[in-house]
Structure 1
Amino acid sequence: MMTIEVVGDVMGSAFRLILIIALLAILPSLLTGLLVSIFQATTQINEQTLSFLPRMAVTLLMLIFAGKWMLTELIDFTRQLFEQAAQLVL
């Protein structure tokens, strides 16, 4: 039976998975941006493409390497959610 606790557990699991997947995509980009900003501050080079291109490259590489894992986790969560939904409705 669907109760508030069950809905809370499902929502908590969904938010946790979303947070992990988003952090895997965003955190390397943020760290690269920080390193490029430090480099720009020390060398006084103010080129916009210097800050954009490395972040984009790191984000794409991260999605290439971790994309399969991200998709697998989303598929597993969705499959588990549908299996739980069938049991909880009855």
Structure 2
Amino acid sequence: MTVDTVVDIARETLWVIVKVSAPMLGISLIVGLIISIFQTITSINEQTLTFLPKLLAIFTVLILAGSWILNSITSYTTELFTNFARYLG
């Protein structure tokens, strides 16, 4: 296995991680921003107020995009195992 192959595998792995985590991180960011604006407008300084809405939003995204996330991870793992002999040679 060459250094270029290892770098390619690492790059593809990081890209899959970013791709499958982006929906959850994005919705968490949006919900946190909305709650922060609400707290600023109403002068509520409760730090734990954002926890439950973020949690519910992330669970909703997992329910809606879970099959896509699982398919992405499964296809990448299948690709890695399929090309295993090529990586050794």
Normalised by the size of structure 2, how large is the TM-score? 0.88
Tell me how large the CA RMSD over aligned residues is. Answer: 1.5
Name which of structure 1's ranges 68-77 and 45-54 shifts more when overlaid on structure 2.
45-54
Match of 1:60 in 2: 59
Identity over the aligned pairs, expressed in percent?
37
CA distance in 2, matches of 1:89, 1:35: 50
CA distance in 1, matches of 2:28, 2:50: 10
CA shift, 1:30, in A, is: 1.4
CA distance in 2, matches of 1:71, 1:37: 32
Instruction: List gaps (5 residues or longer) in structure 2.
Output: none
Match of 1:69 in 2: 68
Matched, 1:81 2:80: yes
Instruction: List gaps (5 residues or longer) in structure 1.
Output: none
How many residues end up aligned between the 2 structures? 89
Normalised by the size of structure 1, how large is the TM-score? 0.88
